[in-house]
Structure formats: C-alpha cells, structure tokens
Amino acid sequence: MSLETLSETRSFGGTQGVYRHKSQATGTDMTFAVYLPEMALHGPVPVLWYLSGLTCTHENAMTKAAAQQWCDEAGIAMVFPDTSPRGEGVANDEAYDLGQGAGFYVNATQDPWKPHFRMWDYVVEELPALVCDNFAVDGDAMGITGHSMGGHGALTIAMTHPDRYRTVSAFAPIANPTESDWGRKQFTAYLGDDAQAWRAHDATLLMTERGFPGEVLIDQGAADQFLDLLRPEALAHAMTARRQPGQFRMHAGHDHSYFFVQSLMADHVFWHAERLV
C-alpha cells in the first residue's frame, strides 16, 4: 500500500510525521500522523493509538495534546488517525456531531453512510497493518487511548480486541452512548433502528458484559460541560460492579477541552509505557 509523506518535523528527540494513503476500508484518501521517539532509531518501539473526538482531524491532538515530549521520554510511538472519511462524494450532515468529523469508530450499515464510513475496520485492521509495515513500531506492544468520541472508540475497541491491545485508557469518554444523544442519534443513522446492533459500541455495556483483562485508566473533568452527554457515572458504576482493575478519576475544575487532555497526557503516556515497554 503506497504511503505519501506530507511532512516530517523534528520534535524533541524524535520525529512528528503526517502521511496520506488510499484506504481500502473507507474508499477515500486518509491522512494520519505518527510520532516516533528517538528510541525508534534503534529498533521497534511500543505504540499508543490516540483516537480524537468530534470535529477533529489527525491534527488536533497532534498539535494540542502535548504528547510528543512524554512519548520521547517514555520511548513509545503515538499514532493520530483521522476521525472519519472525507472528500468529494463522502456523505455529510450540517450538524457537527454526524458525518465528516464524527465517524464514531463504527462500520456504518445504513445509507448514505455505509459506502465510506467504515472507521472500525480502518482503525482496527487497515491502519495498524500499514503503520507496522512502514514504521519502527512493535505491533505486539500496542495500547489505545482517546478523548470524548475517541475515548468511546478506544474503550470499545480494546474490550472487543483485548488480544491486540495490551493497555487502554480514556479522557472524558462518551461512556454510555446507547443512553445519550451522543450515541443514539449517530447509531440510528449509521447502524439503523435496532438497538441490539448498538450494544457492541457502548463502553458501559461492554464493561458490564466482558470488561478488560488488564487495568483501565479513565480521567474525567468534574466541570466538563458535556457531563450529561458523556454519562461517566454509568461507566464508573459498571467498573465498580465488575470490580474491574484500574482507576476512574474525577478532576475538580477541569472541562472538556484540550487543556484537560494536556494536563493528564504525561500520566497516560507513562502509564501505558510502564505496561508496554
């Protein structure tokens, strides 16, 4: 699969790159970013996938999450995928929370979304294979994290594929989308009216039914303006009821912005690194 380099920039001891390729999963060109620490010059390093939230591209977290310094110090790579297919002929909606920029990390089964909106296959299957083939990363040492819609994606993907992801964390995830307008609206559009088809993409339900074999780290701002849509209490209750190893931490004064993500990024990078390296 051909890979086009859009940019490569020195960042701390490593390199921040942006790349484009033709995706078989989405049928579109897809852009993603990879940070490689200095340690990758000496051989494959563990890799942490960062899934972004609503309205984001690969660029938001790459420039706002302040991850590169900590990844370089910890000796792990970080990959920033896009959040949806884009381009001419790709379905869209006027609302910010549906369509381009709002793929919700599912494979759409409904028109007009199903031809291109196959973000589950893209993030879980296609992009990891591409990254492992082209960069000095260890595909057997992968973790996954994300913010908001991306936290939802990270948790559901990791609990569905615990054999592929050794670690999982999330920043302010959409925790119970089948009971939220950030979920029911999108799942109806992408997956249809049968709520049973939605269950595989709800972190709270997956936590209740299967959990994760390792520890789970969740951080949530107590002043988050979207708490009613995120429903963190549902996931916290499910973790407690299951006695899931890990931590669910509420942070006074923090909202939903990238200032919150920046504040906890070092914690997450080193938490994953301790379990992956």
At 66-93, the pLDDT tens digits run: 999 999 999 999 999 999 999 999 999 9
Which candidate in 147, 152, 201, 256 is catalytic? 256
Q: 219 falls in which pLDDT band (50, 70, 90)? A: very high
- For residue 73, give the CATH number of its domain: 3.40.50.1820
Is 148 among the catalytic positions?
yes
Report the C-alpha gap between 207 and 245 in whole angstroms: 11
Is 84 among the catalytic positions?
no
Predicted local confidence at residue 1, as pLDDT: 64
Which candidate in 82, 202, 219, 224 is catalytic? 224
Q: 121 falls in which pLDDT band (50, 70, 90)? A: very high
Length of the chain, in residues: 277
At 1-13, the pLDDT tens digits run: 689 999 999 999 9
**By residue range, what is the domain housing residue 16?**
3-274
pTM exceeding the 0.95 threshold for the entire prediction:
yes
Is 256 among the catalytic positions?
yes
Which candidate in 23, 84, 148, 169 is catalytic? 148
CA nearest to 83, candidates 109, 110, 49, 112:
49
In the chain, the number of structural domains is 1
- Tell whether the model's pLDDT for residue 207 goes beyond 90: yes
Report the C-alpha gap between 220 and 148 in whole angstroms: 10
